[in-house]
Chains A and B, each alone.
Chain A
Amino acid sequence: MTRHHLALTALAALLAWPAHALEKIIIDQGYDNQTRIAVVPFDGGLVGDDDIADIISFDLARSGQFDALPAENMLSLPTHPEDVLFRDWRVLGIEYVVIGRMWSNAQGELAVAWHLFDVFNERELMAANLAAPPAKARDIAHRIADDVYERITGVPGAFSTRIIYVLATDAGTAQARYLLKIADSDGARSRTLFNSDQPLLSASWSPDARRVAYVSFESGRQAIVVQDLATGARQRVAEYRGLNGAPVFSPDGQRLALVLSRDGNPEIYVMDLAGDRALRRVTRYPGAIDTEPSWSADGRSLIFTSDRGGRPQIYRIELANSMIERLTFQGDYNARARLLPDGQHLIYVHRRRGTYHIAWQDLERNDVRVLTETSLDESPSIAPNGMMLIYATQNAGRGILAVVSIDGRVKYKLPSDEGDVREPAWSPYIDALSPDSRH
């Protein structure tokens, strides 16, 4: 583990990106028996400040499942398949090797040819060619990391994804500012989507990753805004009297679940986004708080937080017949739940001994596992491959983002160089290299 940490620190030191700001990732904890991989520096792989092999290595390393060998420890630096000497890697205990070459093609694009080798079986597992505009060098690296990860683990990689989050500066003062940001899943390339002197929160992605919905107080009242990521166009879709909160897109992207208190009490509603924004009220429980809805993968039910039993707990409601079922029973504060892609497991905020953690629950057996041991942990958002989740926590009195694997064994932080960072939302899968990608 110590060697692993040193390697990562060295690796992380090579990766720098401009301010604002999520700084270098700090990996706190990984698996004990990691897969040992070497991503050899690519021929032509230095694109501006980006070293393609380093980005791939760091993606794989932060999954916690891989130990990536630093280039200075490599015995040879092959860039063509015929130069790969398996013995050089076997003596280092390396199980897999990635090599590649990059050049500028006739269209002025960045082209890459890369290969993945299985050292013990001395064979090539994958080979591929890619090309993209030079500005997408990091996207090329993340794509290769996704493919390598999937070929070795059998699970699709989610390194090409994005995160949105809120950066709050000068909180608690008259100069407070709230910035809705988007960044790569490793924190690089952050940019501002919206900037307000009033609070922003509860951002969530449309399933096609082209729009985000969030809560904004920009008008002095609460409103739900849907913003197109490519054009920046914003629409206020809900601005009723009282609460207008917790927007989440349905899996088909046609509807938005949200919370309104316009009828006197916080209740869950579903808005038809395709049509005239007609509202259907889903819950009806005077005197109780019903909030924080989230969809099942089939779009037929919602899970939500309610204190109808006296304390906040997670419930599920079938939209067809309004049948309600309580899902959480351990503890007196369980809130803001999300379902894992398999629909069988729940992630939520769980209070234990006065502090707030991210918890995982198996819905069949109802066993609960607390995944985080920091305090004030909140807003968990699950990666589309269901392997990791990002959440907000406190570090040295400031809000930061952190990531934990679904089994709780891998942890890393994404520190920020300023302000409080919070309200993360992990994007669906995106294809940043497709010609019509808007990312």
Chain B
Amino acid sequence: MTRTPLKRRSPKQTFGAIATILAAGILAGCAGCASPEAPAPIEIPDEPEEIAPIVADPEPARPTDADGVWLDENGRPIARTVYFDFDQAVLKPRDLRVLERHAEFLRDNRSRTLTIEGHCDERGTREYNLALGERRANAVQDFLTSAGVRSSQLETVSYGEERPVDVGHDESAWSKNRRAELIYR
């Protein structure tokens, strides 16, 4: 019996594919915009090839995909949160693999829906942060739709700074609060 060898893509190849999707998504998303300003350039900083701290409980037996993303028993990534830099709504490269896996699950399960919550740290005014949180939720939504998820499967809600996960008042707390959460319904 001959078996076609499984072609494993290297993390770098996957990353390139995702970056292309992301770029296409942002361009497509902005095609109708009349913004007088150029869309923000997609900055992909040279980060070390690190895997995001996906879960607090790294059991070695946990199934992963080819890129090392931990999956639950339904094939969905266990990671349901992506993080943002201060006052930014740009997805970080390290989160793209996880989001691509969520997109794959949603493409394969068209009846499943996802709510994307956008959140901020406490700095800045509350209403401005509600708008910033919406930008963050939209960044995730745009990524997923450009990766083939139907917009009818997605819903966004911004909580701004109103629902912190860490109520501290330092960068350690703030960095945990600047996030988008993916909640399956």
Contact = CB atoms under 8 A, between A and B. Distances in A.
B126 to A, nearest CB: 5
B128 A336 contact: yes
A243 B130 CA distance: 7
A349 interface: yes
A394 B134 contact: no
Contacts of A242: 134, 156
A291 B128 contact: yes
A424 interface: no
A221 B159 contact: no
Contacts of A378: 125-126
Nearest to B122: A376
Interface string B156-185: 111100111111110000000000000000
Interface stretch (B3-11, B13-21, B32-40, B99-107): B32-40
A132 interface: no
Contacts of B131: 243, 245, 259, 261, 266, 289, 291
Closest 8 A/B residue pairs (Cβ) = A199-B162, A287-B35, A172-B167, A289-B131, A336-B125, A266-B131, A335-B125, A246-B127
Contacts of A429: none
A245 B157 contact: no
A245 B124 contact: no
A349 B125 contact: yes
Contacts of A202: 126-127
B126 A222 contact: no
B50 to A, nearest CB: 27
A243 B128 contact: no
B35 A286 contact: yes
What band does the interface of chain A fall in when counting residues whose beta carbon is under 8 Å from B? Answer: 35 or more
A242 B113 CA distance: 17
Interface of B: 33-35, 37, 39, 122-128, 130-132, 134-135, 156-159, 162-169
B166 A172 contact: yes
B128 A220 contact: no
B92 to A, nearest CB: 21
A176 B165 CA distance: 11
B128 A222 contact: no
B163 A356 contact: no
B34 A286 contact: yes
A292 B127 CA distance: 6
Interface string A368-408: 00000000101100000000000000100100000000000
Given A261-B131, A289-B135, A356-B124, 7 more contacts: A171-B167, A176-B163, A217-B159, A242-B134, A287-B35, A305-B127, A336-B125
28 contacts: A171-B167, A176-B163, A199-B162, A199-B163, A201-B126, A201-B162, A202-B127, A222-B130, A222-B157, A245-B127, A259-B131, A266-B134, A286-B34, A286-B35, A287-B33, A287-B35, A291-B127, A292-B125, A292-B128, A305-B125, A349-B124, A351-B124, A376-B123, A376-B169, A378-B125, A379-B125, A394-B169, A423-B126
A188 B123 CA distance: 29
B125 A245 contact: no
Interface in A151-179: 171-172, 176
A426 interface: no
A289 B126 contact: no
B178 to A, nearest CB: 14
Contacts of B168: 397
